[in-house]
Structure 1
Amino acid sequence: MQPVVLFLNIALFLGPCLQSMCSTEKVLENVNLPTNVKGNDCTHIKKRFPDTPSGVYLIQPIGKSRPFQVFCDMKDGKGWTIFQVRNGLDSLNYNKGWAAYKKGFGKSNREHWLGLENIYSLTNQANKTFKLRVNLKDFENGSAYAEYSEFRIDNGKNNYRLHLGSYSGNAGDAFRGSGPPTEDQNGHMFSTYDQDNDGCTPCIFDDTAIESCSEMFSSGWWFSQCGMADLNGIWHPKDNNVGWTSGIHWKTWKQLSYSLKFCELKVVSV
């Protein structure tokens, strides 16, 4: 067979394979983005532009028709997408209903909640797995963290049900808790005061019966009768942060209803 004919036959054979490879690459990392959008998420931005500093960027997750604004933490070279911050500096009210938690509120470079629909789009991209990091600080200059090897939430039809991988860190696994299995928030749906999915029928606390964890804690969260984690409760200042029912709680690290000074939730593609 002549070399030219052989080359053409090989090209015809490999053509569909090459097209498939290109198609897969576009699914893995969509670089056909609007000019004002840097990437699908902060990890993707850091990979495309290694010198990119921390800051606010527009991202457009794979499968999402419109971009949205996030704060990217680029300090460790990985590219973390932040979806929640609490520090009390903005006095931002987190006691909001389902519509607000779905859409998001606050400013990306300050206290904020990114929004359940955006978190869903971010953590359910094709061929991507996300790791969660929870950063915590108290008023005595202490700090702790919890990491989960996988993190994603379901869509709105399933009430943004929480899915977590294995835990590591020094703050304890408050999502799963140290109490009865009914308090394990992993696998549980999101709740707000106007959409109750917490499983209380009712829940009993110190001889008090409650029907809604969200109402009791003034918060939207993945409550499960009600659990040991709630980072969307009321923020309290130093010297007035202990003993409150509603607070910034991670009770596997700080017990006795200690409300934290700072918390941050962020994800990275792994």
Structure 2
Amino acid sequence: MRRAPTTGAALVLCAATAGLLSAQGHPTPPESPRFASWDEMNVLAHGLLQLGHGLREHVERTRGHLGALEQRLSACGTACQNPGASAAPPRVPESSVAGGEAAPEALRSLQTQLKAQNSRIEQLFQKVAQQQRHLEKQHLRIQNLQSQVGLLAPTHLSNGMAKPAPKKRLPKMAQLVGPAHNASRLHNGGWTVIQRRQDGSVDFDRPWEAYKAGFGDPQGEFWLGLEKVHRITGDRGSRLAVQLQDWDGNAESLQFPVHLGGEDTAYSLQLTAPVASKLGATMVTPGGLSLPFSTRDKDHDLRRDKNCAKSLSGGWWFGTCSHSNLNGQYFRSIPRQRQQRKKGIFWKTWRGRYYPLQATTMLIQPTMAAAAS
């Protein structure tokens, strides 16, 4: 039988949570970051969650016992007012009935205190759960950094000196007649269309499961689904084609190499360092940039202080909320308010951060298929 948590355990929970929240509010200076291991933080967070559950269950059991005691006191009062009753009144501890009318009042006071205590424990439990989410986000960042280290090109030693790996060429950017025309041409070359925006007929501000499974109409606006795209690419490298069109009829297209991870990496999109820099990303490691996919209910972006998908709109591979978002809110005309425009469909390095695009198409092709074609 599980023992109810003691007052000492509750104090330990409060102290541990206060320490975590204090550390969150006052992060370590960036010049000398120090992090606890994921295993240590995960064990601590899960332990706090279990202790919070135990405290709440203990309060609920205590409340139930007090309720039963109050019912017994009420039954005793009824029996005492009716001396001719055949049944003996329920046995109640003397300490509980001492004081007559004061006993129910004391019980009500205790119940009020227990409700307040339960409310405080519930708030504490929510804070611990929030801290657990932050820990999971930090763990995902660590995984992404580890994957970037794994993508570092090996150096070749010659005469005891390390030679840097040759730089990769940037993908060429070609002007198009129109996204729809080029999409058909690429599709015939082994490409798969994974996203299309053209008229705002489909709502793209959806939760994680929708972006994982896919939604929309393949003949119109749609999102193929992260899991389907991952099955197409597997563990192979791929090429991603992005086609953009503004409201003046101008169109632009670019292609670049990518690698799409599985759900265990939040479908992280890995970009080489030159491509990431070309797309406007800053602080890119030599191994490139890994961007997890984020939705309003699954915050995996690289911003600590903001949920990009919730602040903007739609699900996307957000870095710092400002480089691109082709799944943003569709505007049939350009809004006057700058705060509203930033929620739209944008590609910063082409038309700028606050220009909502008219149409977009995304296609993907595994690298092996690209070599065969």
Per the normalisation by structure 1, the TM-score is: 0.60
Letter of the 1:198 counterpart: D
Give the structure 2 partner of residue 4 of structure 1: none
SS in 2 for 1:253: helix
Give the structure 1 partner of residue 364 of structure 2: 267
CA distance in 1, matches of 2:254, 2:232: 20
Any unmatched runs of 5+ in structure 1?
1-71, 203-210
SS in 2 for 1:219: coil
Larger strand share, 1 or 2: 1
The correspondence of residues 146-157 of structure 1 with structure 2, limited to 5 A, is 146-148=254-256, 150-157=257-264
* Greater Rg by CA: 2
CA distance in 2, matches of 1:129, 1:261: 30
Question: What is the Cα-based RMSD across aligned positions, in Å?
Answer: 2.7
Contact 1:242 1:257 in 2 (8 A): no
What is the aligned residue count?
181
- Shift, 1:102, TM fit: 0.5
Letter of the 1:201 counterpart: R
Higher relative CO (Cα under 8 Å, sequence separation at least 6) belongs to 1
CA distance in 1, matches of 2:330, 2:336: 8
Contact 2:198 2:221 in 1 (8 A): yes
CA deviation string 1:150-206 (max 9, x = no partner): 2231111111010235878xxx943xx154549xx941111111110112221xxxx
Larger helix share, 1 or 2: 2
SS in 2 for 1:234: coil
Any unmatched runs of 5+ in structure 2?
1-182
1:130 equivalent in alignment to 2:233: no
Give the structure 2 partner of residue 78 of structure 1: 189
The correspondence of residues 65-214 of structure 1 with structure 2, limited to 5 A, is 73-74=184-185, 77-90=188-201, 92-124=202-234, 129-148=237-256, 150-165=257-272, 173-174=278-279, 177-181=280-284, 186-202=289-305, 211-214=306-309
- Shift, 1:240, TM fit: 3.4
Q: 1:256 to 1:191 in 2, by over 3 A?
A: closer
Identity of counterpart residues, as a percentage?
A: 29
Q: 1:215 to 1:249 in 2, by over 3 A?
A: same
The correspondence of residues 233-244 of structure 1 with structure 2, limited to 5 A, is 233-240=328-335, 243=338, 244=341
